[in-house]
């Protein structure tokens, strides 16, 4: 297990190298000049040239690439042109906002989606199964931007129950903060919840009809124990896969949802960084996000090992 | 030897499917005494497994016992509550399944599955349950049982897994065991070992066993009484020795003929019963075996034969072997067509 973790951590190095290089190349390929984007349309050619020098854009691409690596290795992801703050500070402010939203949604999606899926599997072909699997299909298919706008229209504009946009403040009490979360959380929960429900249903269906469940039933084990201890543990691997993917998306934030609700998180930050041609910020966020994906993948693989004794990454069985 | 453990009378288990009702078990009766081994023989789909599953209500969702009584130690298994049933399952009645490799939960260690079972039925601590489990593993001949407790099922061979299944089956001292083709998935050499083990344990503990098999060779080795099933019905029921010496039903003859013999010459063909078993949705109007039976006559096509006792303890369901008429084995009916 420790050997696996160490080996996987070493494997991260080439992946990160490729990520850094690719983002560097891709950001340089975005049309438009960052200096103009910062200074605005009224800037003179002189101002732009000065700005370019300040940003290091007048140097050759190879030099810029070298400087970039030098900075990263010193733990410096550069300073955002648009915000004038170091990229890491900016990420430090935004990531917590995103995590509040995305982790809440993920937990809700797990707590609601998985029991619905498992219950549907046990009660296959009943009204409950049909209704909830139809809803899950809807949940997967509905475009999030449309759903978010409808939520705003109904619950914020027409009914006025929740604010339409922005982030709350804890100084206004619990509800003062949470009321701003309700609509974005609902939007962010919908899709993973539906995915979890469907995958848990199909995965559980496969395991509740196996020989070993029948054999254990013949030994007098109770149905809840059969279902939640034995069938569910065997059904876990596919569920872990999709949960892992959703967990990784938690950090990138939902670009659409955060933008629609003006939630100052990572999603909104990335969208703005791209429109501003904020090279350092784009590069910084992409590297961080890549890092998160790699770590989550590692966690998922380790979870497989815990759940399924047949899984081993050491090569060969562990007899 | 006279204490009755299980009494099944006129058991009818039907499967209700979209395309019709399949009469998987259609009026089967038998009794099992303490320490007795009853062999149920028949080909695939003859209702052997279903009749056993009916006893402990382990039928698939589409199957239902529609008629008959099942008395286990006087308790009506069709009427007891789920809770009572769970208490009986695994302790008083235990089952050994056909494929040991898929009958153990792959993600739990063998030991923890045994401990779980023991603690489901006995109020003992984890340590005590572990001790019992190790003892049972040793009893079924697993070398180094302490270490095997920490093995996952995929780390054991098929024969080893079946030994574990047997160890689990005996761990709560069952009065009655259902062995559903316990050796079908195993190597021939291992088969003999597992059967020997079952017989040995059975003699030690005086457990009644229902042994389901399609192999008459196993029956001769293991059983006291034999029931031959065909298409959901009992066609012959007798003492093992009686059946061996004096088989009466043409289907039993067919089964016996299909066993290859050492005396067969190299070129001798394997004898098979021609044709296929009938569609279980359409049975019940004639002798189910008539279209494959070389001795069949018109009456076989028109009437269902009754199971009649032709000698003490020997019952046959055949129009031509009912004690009034008799057939000569190998001498086929003069074809009237």
Assess if residue B185 is contained within a domain. yes
Distance of alpha carbon B10 from alpha carbon B94, whole angstroms? 23
The whole-angstrom distance between B27's CA and the closest CA on chain A is 24
Q: What's the whole-model pTM score? A: 0.79
In total, how many domains does chain B have?
2
Q: Do both B193 and B284 map to the same domain?
A: no
Q: Do both B115 and B76 map to the same domain?
A: yes
Distance of alpha carbon B25 from alpha carbon B23, whole angstroms? 6
Assess if residue A166 is contained within a domain. yes
Total CB pairs under 8 A between chain A and B: 72
Q: Is A219's Cβ below 8 Å from some Cβ in B? A: yes
Assess if residue A155 is contained within a domain. yes
Contact B116 A310 (CB under 8 A): no
Picking from A205, A214, A215 by the largest number of B CB atoms within 10 A of its own CB, the best residue to mutate is A215
Short-list B203, B208, B268, B181, CA closest to B8 = B208
Distance of alpha carbon B55 from alpha carbon B59, whole angstroms? 9
Instruction: Report the half-sphere exposure of B37 (CA within 13 A, side-chain side).
Output: 24
Q: Do both B93 and B190 map to the same domain?
A: yes
Distance of alpha carbon B262 from alpha carbon B255, whole angstroms? 16
Burial (0-12, 13-18, 19+ Cβ within 10 Å), B90? buried
Question: Per residue in A137-153, pLDDT tens?
Answer: 998 898 888 888 898 89
Assess if residue B328 is contained within a domain. no
Assess if residue A212 is contained within a domain. yes
Antiparallel, parallel or unpaired: β B233-239 and B208-213 = unpaired
Assess if residue A62 is contained within a domain. no
Q: Residue A253 pLDDT > 70, yes or no? A: no
Domain boundary among B168, B202, B230: B230
Task: Give chain A positions within 8 Å (CB) of B106.
Answer: 212, 234, 308-310
Assess if residue A90 is contained within a domain. no
Assess if residue B85 is contained within a domain. yes
Picking from B57, B105, B170 by the largest number of A CB atoms within 10 A of its own CB, the best residue to mutate is B105
Q: Do both B43 and B15 map to the same domain?
A: yes
Assess if residue A66 is contained within a domain. no
Distance of alpha carbon A95 from alpha carbon A92, whole angstroms? 6
Structure tokens at B98: 């056909």
Q: Is A6's Cβ below 8 Å from some Cβ in B? A: no
Task: Give chain B positions within 8 Å (CB) of A234.
Answer: 105-107
Task: Give chain A positions within 8 Å (CB) of B152.
Answer: 309-310
Assess if residue B122 is contained within a domain. yes
Assess if residue A102 is contained within a domain. yes
Q: Could you give the ipTM of this predicted complex?
A: 0.84
The whole-angstrom distance between A76's CA and the closest CA on chain B is 46
Q: Do both B251 and B311 map to the same domain?
A: yes
| Residue A7 main-chain phi, psi, to 5 deg | -65, -40
Assess if residue B331 is contained within a domain. no
Distance of alpha carbon A120 from alpha carbon A107, whole angstroms? 20
Assess if residue B151 is contained within a domain. yes
Contact B104 A212 (CB under 8 A): yes
User: Which residue segment(s) compose the domain that A121 sits in?
Assistant: 96-272+297-307
Residue B150, Cα to own-chain centre: how many angstroms?
A: 32
Q: Do both B223 and B280 map to the same domain?
A: no
Task: Work out the angle at residue B127's Cα, subtended by the Cα atoms of residues B126 and B131, and round it to the nearest 5 degrees.
Answer: 115
Residue B173, Cα to own-chain centre: how many angstroms?
A: 20
- The mean per-residue pLDDT over the stretch A205-218 comes to 90
Question: Per residue in A13-56, pLDDT tens?
Answer: 888 889 888 888 888 887 777 777 777 777 788 888 887 887 77
Give the CATH number of the domain where residue B39 resides.
3.40.50.300
Distance of alpha carbon B120 from alpha carbon B103, whole angstroms? 18
Give the CATH number of the domain where residue A250 resides.
1.10.3720.10
Q: Is A221's Cβ below 8 Å from some Cβ in B? A: yes
Q: Do both B221 and B295 map to the same domain?
A: no
The pLDDT value given to residue B255: 87
Q: Is A41's Cβ below 8 Å from some Cβ in B? A: no
Q: Do both B161 and B306 map to the same domain?
A: no
Contact B58 A230 (CB under 8 A): no
Q: Do both B201 and B243 map to the same domain?
A: no
Contact B106 A308 (CB under 8 A): yes
Q: Do both B199 and B280 map to the same domain?
A: no
Contact B116 A215 (CB under 8 A): no
User: Which residue segment(s) compose the domain that B239 sits in?
Assistant: 233-316
| pLDDT tens-place values along chain B, 337 residues long | 458 899 999 999 999 988 889 999 988 999 999 889 999 998 888 888 899 999 989 888 889 999 999 999 988 999 999 999 999 998 899 999 888 888 999 999 999 999 999 999 989 999 999 999 999 998 888 889 999 999 999 999 888 898 899 899 888 889 999 999 888 878 888 888 888 888 888 888 889 999 998 888 888 888 999 999 999 899 999 999 999 888 999 999 888 888 877 777 777 777 788 888 888 888 878 888 888 888 888 888 888 888 888 888 899 998 888 877 777 777 665 444 3
Complete edge-to-edge strand list for the sheet that includes strand B93-96: B93-96, B176-180, B208-213, B37-41, B225-230, B233-239, B314-316, B308-311
In total, how many domains does chain A have?
1
Of chain A, the end-to-end C-alpha distance in Å amounts to 15
| Alpha helices (H) along A126-172 | 127-141, 144-151
Antiparallel, parallel or unpaired: β B4-17 and B20-33 = antiparallel
Q: Do both B241 and B193 map to the same domain?
A: no
Assess if residue A23 is contained within a domain. no
Q: Do both B30 and B113 map to the same domain?
A: yes
Domain boundary among B230, B265, B280: B230
């Amino acid at each position: 297990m420790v050997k696996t973790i160490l080996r996987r951590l070493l494997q991260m190095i080439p992946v990160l190298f490729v990520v850094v290089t690719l983002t560097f190349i891709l950001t340089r390929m975005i049309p438009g000049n960052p200096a103009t984007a910062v200074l605005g349309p009224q800037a003179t050619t002189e101002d732009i040239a000065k700005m370019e020098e300040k940003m290091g854009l007048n140097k050759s691409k190879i030099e810029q690439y070298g400087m970039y690596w030098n900075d990263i290795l010193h733990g410096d992801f550069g300073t955002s042109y648009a915000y004038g703050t170091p990229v890491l500070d900016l990420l430090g402010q935004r990531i917590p906002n995103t995590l509040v939203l995305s982790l809440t949604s993920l937990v809700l999606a797990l707590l609601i989606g998985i029991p619905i899926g498992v219950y549907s599997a046990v009660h296959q072909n009943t009204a409950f199964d049909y209704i909830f699997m139809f809803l899950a299909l809807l949940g997967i298919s509905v475009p999030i931007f449309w759903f978010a706008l409808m939520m705003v229209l109904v619950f914020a504009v027409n009914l006025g129950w929740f604010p339409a946009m922005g982030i709350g403040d804890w100084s206004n009490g619990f509800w003062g903060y949470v009321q701003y979360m309700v609509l974005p959380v609902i939007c962010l929960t919908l899709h993973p919840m539906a995915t979890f429900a469907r995958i848990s249903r199909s995965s559980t269906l496969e395991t509740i009809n196996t020989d070993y469940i029948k054999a254990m039933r013949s030994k007098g084990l109770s149905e809840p124990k059969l279902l939640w201890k034995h069938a569910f543990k065997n059904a876990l691997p596919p569920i872990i896969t999709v949960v892992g993917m959703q967990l990784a998306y938690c950090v990138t934030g939902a670009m659409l949802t955060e933008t629609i609700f003006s939630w100052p998180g990572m999603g909104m930050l990335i969208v703005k960084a791209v429109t501003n041609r904020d090279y350092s910020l784009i590069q910084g966020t992409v590297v961080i996000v890549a890092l998160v994906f790699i770590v989550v993948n590692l966690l998922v693989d380790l979870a497989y090992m815990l759940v399924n004794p047949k899984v081993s990454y050491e090569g060969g069985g562990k007899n | 030897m006279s204490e009755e453990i299980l009494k099944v009378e006129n058991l009818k288990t039907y499967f209700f499917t979209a395309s019709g009702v399949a009469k998987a078990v259609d009026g089967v009766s038998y009794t099992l005494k303490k320490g007795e081994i009853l062999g149920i023989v028949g080909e695939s789909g003859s209702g052997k497994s279903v009749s056993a599953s009916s006893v402990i209500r382990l039928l698939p969702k589409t199957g239902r016992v529609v008629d008959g009584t099942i008395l286990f130690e006087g308790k009506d298994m069709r009427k007891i509550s789920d809770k009572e049933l769970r208490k009986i399952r695994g302790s008083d009645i235990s089952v050994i399944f056909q494929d040991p490799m898929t009958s153990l939960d792959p993600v739990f260690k063998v030991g923890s599955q045994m401990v779980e079972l023991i603690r489901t039925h006995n109020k003992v601590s984890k340590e005590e349950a572990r001790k019992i489990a190790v003892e049972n593993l040793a009893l079924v001949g697993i070398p180094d049982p302490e270490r095997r407790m920490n093995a996952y099922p995929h780390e054991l061979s098929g024969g080893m897994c079946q030994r574990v299944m047997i160890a689990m089956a005996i761990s709560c001292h069952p009065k009655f065991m259902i062995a559903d083709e316990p050796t079908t998935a195993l190597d021939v050499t291992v088969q003999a070992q597992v059967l020997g083990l079952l017989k040995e344990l059975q003699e030690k503990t005086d457990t009644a066993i229902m042994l389901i098999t399609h192999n008459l060779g196993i029956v001769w080795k293991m059983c006291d009484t034999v029931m031959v099933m065909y298409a959901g019905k009992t066609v012959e029921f007798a003492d093992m020795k009686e059946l061996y010496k004096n088989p009466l039903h043409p289907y039993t003859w067919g089964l016996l003929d299909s066993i290859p013999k050492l005396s067969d010459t190299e070129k001798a063909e394997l004898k098979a019963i021609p044709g296929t078993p009938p569609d279980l949705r359409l049975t019940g109007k004639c002798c189910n075996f008539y279209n494959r039976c070389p001795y069949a006559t018109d009456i076989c096509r028109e009437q269902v034969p009754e199971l009649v006792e032709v000698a003490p303890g020997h019952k046959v369901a055949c129009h031509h072997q009912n004690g009034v008429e008799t057939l000569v084995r190998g001498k086929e009916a003069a074809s009237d067509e």
